[in-house]
Amino acid sequence: MSNEPTSEKETERREASELRDVFSGEPIDLRPGSDDCYKCSTCDTECPVAEVDDEFPGPKFQGPEQWRLKRKDDRDIDGSVMTCSNCMRCDDVCPSNVPLSQMHNTARGEYVDEQMSPFSLEYARNRILANYGRLAPLGARFPRLTNFVMGLSVTKLVNEKLLGITGEREFPAFAAQTFRDWWDERGGNAASRERARRAREERDGAKVESDDKRVAYFHGDYSNFNTPEVAKAMVRVFESFGYEVAVPEQRCSGTPMYANGMLDDARRAAKFNVETLAALVERGYDVVCSCTSCSMALRQEYPELYSFDGTAKVAANTFEALEYLRIHEDLDGELADASVPESEFGELAYHAPCHARNQGIDGQAVELVSELDGADAVDVGDSCSGISGTYGWKAEKYDVSMQIGEDMFEHMREVEGETGMTECPTCAMQMNHGTGYEIRHPLEVLEAALVE
């Protein structure tokens, strides 16, 4: 299948990442890259944390300056790197292609390894937050009981006082059935193959072989344990276009681990994912994600940090779900002839996740949904939601997280209706937390429009 990048920005990003010497297997030395910075400060003006927290020195310091200082006298990493939320907005705007997020991730990892005690509460809390996917199967085994216990005020109090996990937020509920259990019960890959074959027959009026219509779905932990309706929508929408969907074994994409400097955990998860997905890519599958942070990890963070066999191949063949359909199908045309119940959707307050901006795919959901009868999407501006995955769950970061989100909340309230839309599960949490709106994923809108 064609692996054409979707935008100029994406082409630039892929070319730039090919030029970096990160496949040598040697430890990454980012110090020479700091010379590419000409101190324009564009990154600092884009940083949502620096905007509300006067003590945070900003991305220019966290990236190039820190690495420059290290070149001089192998200094320790400055602890303020733990205040960076990993939103990657700085990475997106740098005119000189300084690998800012690669610098931040590497610095955070070094700080955690060498300067943070593994016996500290901060380390324990961050490790728990970063490894949600490891703990979630326990909670998902008894979802009603877990939801009840996690919703108790006493649980929130203990979490806040003992672990430093904010008690201000509602813990995301576990679904009664995980996506993967639903998938197995439905018949797994064989059932998907058959449904896709029938859809192609209906569309083309003839038997069409599926070798060039196969995708491997990287659903991530949240869609599996908490919002299986998003993952089911992804499967049904792709099958309706005649795609056979495979759901390989997978671990967390690593995004929360990078954000917390848990690079050993991230490396193990990434290695597992690359091995599994590379084997499918070899067989002609493309990798599709419903979460924009997952697609970003697979196609940007993995090749920036790892040299496993297949890393570059997986990165080059990974796409976000809507982006993929726009490349390969006449999605705009299909939506122009479709409709959804206005009472269910109507005017949707859309927030583009920072990680979608970073991949150049932040405008597509608004364009697509606005084609539909019964729904309209209004972009609520380009501010950061403020939660940045695990960041806004930390008790000491909660206020900053809400201050960053205030712009988005305000614009959401200006939109008619009380439903929001975004591709990122933690942005969705923050949108709901700040406004009380129900939040939908664009794939759910597509499912309502295109799947009978």
Contacting ligand SF4 (CB under 6 A), which of 22, 28, 43, 277? 43
Binding marks (x or -) toward ligand SF4, 64..103, rule CB under 6 A? Answer: x-------------------xxxxxxx---x-x-x-x---
Rounded-to-10 torsion of CA 224, 229, 235, 240: 180
Report yes or no: 257 and 267 within 8 Å, Cβ to Cβ: no
Candidates 60-68, 183-191, 232-240, 299-307; binding stretch for ligand SF4 (CB under 6 A): 60-68
Shortest CB 354 distance to ligand SF4, Å = 7
Structure-token match 């809390």, residue found: 125
Contacting ligand SF4 (CB under 6 A), which of 22, 28, 30, 49? 49
Task: Kindly tell me which of 84 and 298 has the beta carbon lying closer to ligand SF4.
Answer: 84
- Please report whether residue 39 would count as binding ligand SF4 according to CB under 6 A: yes
Task: Kindly tell me which of 199 and 266 has the beta carbon lying closer to ligand SF4.
Answer: 266
Task: Kindly tell me which of 199 and 259 has the beta carbon lying closer to ligand SF4.
Answer: 259
Shortest CB 207 distance to ligand SF4, Å = 49
Q: What is the rounded CA–CA span in Å between residue 248 and residue 188?
A: 10
Task: Kindly tell me which of 64 and 220 has the beta carbon lying closer to ligand SF4.
Answer: 64
Candidates 38-46, 69-77, 168-176, 191-199; binding stretch for ligand SF4 (CB under 6 A): 38-46
Q: What is the rounded CA–CA span in Å between residue 111 and residue 114?
A: 5
Q: What is the rounded CA–CA span in Å between residue 38 and residue 392?
A: 32
Task: Kindly tell me which of 369 and 400 has the beta carbon lying closer to ligand SF4.
Answer: 400
DSSP string, 93-152: H-TT---HHHHHHHHHHHHHHHHS-TTSHHHHHHHHHHTHHHHHHHHHHSHHHHHHHHHS
Contacting ligand SF4 (CB under 6 A), which of 62, 223, 227, 273? 62
Q: What is the rounded CA–CA span in Å between residue 269 and residue 305?
A: 13
Report yes or no: 244 and 212 within 8 Å, Cβ to Cβ: no
Candidates 41-49, 175-183, 202-210, 340-348; binding stretch for ligand SF4 (CB under 6 A): 41-49
Shortest CB 183 distance to ligand SF4, Å = 34
How many positions of this chain bind ligand SF4 (CB under 6 A)? 27
Binding marks (x or -) toward ligand SF4, 294..333, rule CB under 6 A? Answer: ----------------------------------------
Contacting ligand SF4 (CB under 6 A), which of 40, 135, 157, 190? 40
Contacting ligand SF4 (CB under 6 A), which of 5, 33, 57, 63? 63
Cβ-proximal residues to 206 (8 Å cutoff; 6+ apart), any chain: none
Q: What is the rounded CA–CA span in Å between residue 230 and residue 243?
A: 17
Helix extents (H) in 142-187 = 143-151, 153-158, 179-186
Binding marks (x or -) toward ligand SF4, 275..294, rule CB under 6 A? Answer: --------------------
Give the 3-state secondary structure of 253-283: CCHHHHHCCCHHHHHHHHHHHHHHHHHHHHC
* 215: enclosing H helix or E strand: strand 214-218
Task: Kindly tell me which of 46 and 244 has the beta carbon lying closer to ligand SF4.
Answer: 46
Name the 3-class secondary structure at 323.
helix
Shortest CB 158 distance to ligand SF4, Å = 29
Closest to 100 (Cα-Cα) out of 91, 108, 109, 92 = 91
Shortest CB 11 distance to ligand SF4, Å = 19
Site residues (CB under 6 A) for ligand SF4, limited to 134-193: none
Task: Kindly tell me which of 328 and 357 has the beta carbon lying closer to ligand SF4.
Answer: 357
Report yes or no: 181 and 238 within 8 Å, Cβ to Cβ: no
Task: Kindly tell me which of 7 and 96 has the beta carbon lying closer to ligand SF4.
Answer: 96
- Please report whether residue 59 would count as binding ligand SF4 according to CB under 6 A: yes
Q: Locate 414 and state its tokens.
A: 């200006």
Give me the residues that bind ligand SF4 (CB under 6 A), please: 37-43, 46-47, 49, 59-60, 62-64, 84-90, 94, 96, 98, 100, 104
